[in-house]
Chains A and B, each alone.
Chain A
């Protein structure tokens, strides 16, 4: 073994990374070569002194990073006026209309999501998604993030997001879907506190008895949103007035919530109307697999 060969391996032998036949040869070489022993000693000194070369990063680095990774918000114009939109790298975290005073959105955000938020510039795709949702246009996958919400809230909102545009479901239905059939009131609370309205469609949840029920921004906006999605106001009012909660088909023997896309396809002459699931069952109908009026 010559010095060149030995020295290329010295460094890894020093740390114990390499230990095989070749390194035994290097060790033997060291015994007879003073120059290589010196080289090894130099590496040893360098390794011993090097930790003292670690610098201390300037004060303020941590603070600056934390500010730069803070959530952002921007204000955009929509059909319902200016909207404050909070966002993170994961997606839109909050949408709020009617923010009256300076600082009100920041404190709402902190209260609701437990994080601070600073002014930033909203990605165009996010702005478009909010505007589209408010116009009642379909969005395949709303770009939202639910981080900071409780597990129950997240579960409820994830299931809520699966209600198709242009359809409504009762609060009790969502409670059943998330496996908590008794938690209807809790589901209602999640709707009232939904940080990403319009995108995660709390406006598509209505009372079992019909109509549109409550909405954070008032029932009128809820009527409007549903109308924009293609549910005529008269239909909802009419079903409520006549106590129609389900619609079945004479030909398929399947019953649905009235706004289910399957129910809408039923021709007038084949249409059956029911006021309860018992009614529907007695009328010889099975629950629809899409809108699941009887989900366990």
Chain B
């Protein structure tokens, strides 16, 4: 979806077109789910958060934003920000409830969500051992193919800070994969 198409769809949703919501869901559901999955480390929460994000997007575009705001909205980073905030909230309340430190859950191994491709499987395995922040950066940069400007818009970090962070995340990921003989 181009930036222009994104704005059209935002405006259509603003006008109350439910079909435009369906188009938005179709265009982004897999990518947002993937992002949420890696933020939260599990499919149940990821599904909840992705659904909630679309509902929130609908309510905001149709009820809160005026047409001017919708006309100028960059919908892709905006959607990712919604998912990100919902996911971080969930992580916080999870932490409060269990007192546990951040960790990936066992259901990462759920068969349905394990990549079929060997290389992809190796990356996924390594990602699971990466910290939440590094993992998020790798997802945004390599899976979503975001520019540093896009990542900055989603996460709120500056581009120059991101250069260092992405670099360190890559170094760690590479280390993990090199220590694992089934890696790249």
Q: Interface readout for B115-130 with A: 1 if CB under 8 Å, 0 if not?
A: 1010110011000000
Among A39, A53, A55, A115, which residue has its beta carbon within 8 angstroms of that of B18?
Answer: A115
Q: Would B58 and A89 count as touching, CB distance under 8 A?
A: yes
Q: Would B148 and A49 count as touching, CB distance under 8 A?
A: no
CB distance from A174 to the nearest CB of B (A): 24
Q: Would A89 and B143 count as touching, CB distance under 8 A?
A: no
Q: Would B33 and A61 count as touching, CB distance under 8 A?
A: yes
Among B16, B47, B59, which residue has its beta carbon within 8 angstroms of that of A58?
Answer: B47
Q: Would B25 and A52 count as touching, CB distance under 8 A?
A: no
Q: Would B184 and A55 count as touching, CB distance under 8 A?
A: no
Chain A residues closer than 8 Å to B171, beta-carbon distance: 7
Complex CA–CA separation, A62 to B47 (angstroms): 11
Complex CA–CA separation, A68 to B43 (angstroms): 20
Complex CA–CA separation, A49 to B123 (angstroms): 8
Chain A residues closer than 8 Å to B123, beta-carbon distance: 46, 49-50, 53
Q: Would B167 and A62 count as touching, CB distance under 8 A?
A: no
Stretch in A10-18, A74-82, A246-254, A261-269 with 4+ CB within 8 Å of B = A10-18
Q: Would A55 and B16 count as touching, CB distance under 8 A?
A: no
CB distance from A142 to the nearest CB of B (A): 16
Q: Would A68 and B51 count as touching, CB distance under 8 A?
A: yes
Among B51, B58, B141, which residue has the most Cβ atoms of chain A within 10 A?
B51
Q: Would B16 and A11 count as touching, CB distance under 8 A?
A: no
In chain B between 17 and 76, which residues have their CB closer than 8 angstroms to a CB of chain A? 18, 21-22, 25-26, 29-34, 37, 43, 47, 50-51, 54-55, 58-59, 62-64
Among A12, A42, A51, A54, which residue has the most Cβ atoms of chain B within 10 A?
A54
CB distance from B37 to the nearest CB of A (A): 6
Complex CA–CA separation, A63 to B47 (angstroms): 12
Size class of the A contact interface (CB-based, 8 Å): 35 or more
Q: Would A49 and B120 count as touching, CB distance under 8 A?
A: yes
CB distance from B179 to the nearest CB of A (A): 14
Among A39, A43, A54, which residue has its beta carbon within 8 angstroms of that of B143?
Answer: A54
Chain B residues closer than 8 Å to A43, beta-carbon distance: 170
In chain A between 1 and 50, which residues have their CB closer than 8 angstroms to a CB of chain B? 7-12, 15, 17, 39, 42-43, 45-47, 49-50
Chain A residues closer than 8 Å to B147, beta-carbon distance: 15, 17
Q: Interface readout for A59-74 with B: 1 if CB under 8 Å, 0 if not?
A: 0011011101110000
Chain A residue at minimum C-beta to C-beta distance from B149: A17
Q: Would A65 and B21 count as touching, CB distance under 8 A?
A: yes
Chain B residues closer than 8 Å to A115, beta-carbon distance: 18
Chain A residues touching B, majority SS: helix
Chain A residue at minimum C-beta to C-beta distance from B54: A65
Chain B residue at minimum C-beta to C-beta distance from A71: B18
Among A49, A68, A147, which residue has its beta carbon within 8 angstroms of that of B55?
Answer: A68
Complex CA–CA separation, A64 to B58 (angstroms): 13
Chain B residue at minimum C-beta to C-beta distance from A93: B16
Chain B residues closer than 8 Å to A66, beta-carbon distance: 18, 21-22, 25
Among A10, A42, A49, A70, which residue has the most Cβ atoms of chain B within 10 A?
A49
B164 on the A face (CB < 8 A)? yes
Q: Would A52 and B120 count as touching, CB distance under 8 A?
A: yes
CB distance from A198 to the nearest CB of B (A): 22
Chain B residues closer than 8 Å to A17, beta-carbon distance: 147-148
Chain B residue at minimum C-beta to C-beta distance from A47: B142
Complex CA–CA separation, A70 to B59 (angstroms): 11
In chain B between 103 and 156, which residues have their CB closer than 8 angstroms to a CB of chain A? 112-113, 115, 117, 119-120, 123-124, 138, 141-143, 145, 147-148
Complex CA–CA separation, A55 to B63 (angstroms): 31
Q: Would A54 and B174 count as touching, CB distance under 8 A?
A: no
Q: Would B51 and A53 count as touching, CB distance under 8 A?
A: no
Q: Would A147 and B141 count as touching, CB distance under 8 A?
A: no
Given contacts A46-B123, A62-B29, contact A145 B16 (CB under 8 A): yes
Offer 16 A-B interface pairs, CB within 8 angstroms, sorted by A: A8-B163, A12-B163, A45-B119, A46-B123, A46-B138, A46-B142, A51-B143, A53-B34, A53-B124, A55-B37, A57-B50, A61-B50, A65-B58, A68-B55, A88-B63, A115-B18
| Seed contacts A57-B29, A62-B29, A66-B18; 8 additional CB < 8 Å A-B pairs | A9-B163, A11-B141, A42-B174, A47-B145, A49-B120, A53-B120, A65-B21, A68-B55
For the complex of A and B, list the 7 residue pairs with the smallest distance between their C-beta atoms, beginning with the closest: A89-B63, A147-B16, A52-B120, A57-B33, A50-B142, A57-B29, A49-B119
Which residues of A line the B interface, CB within 8 A?
A: 7-12, 15, 17, 39, 42-43, 45-47, 49-58, 61-62, 64-66, 68-70, 88-90, 115, 145, 147-148
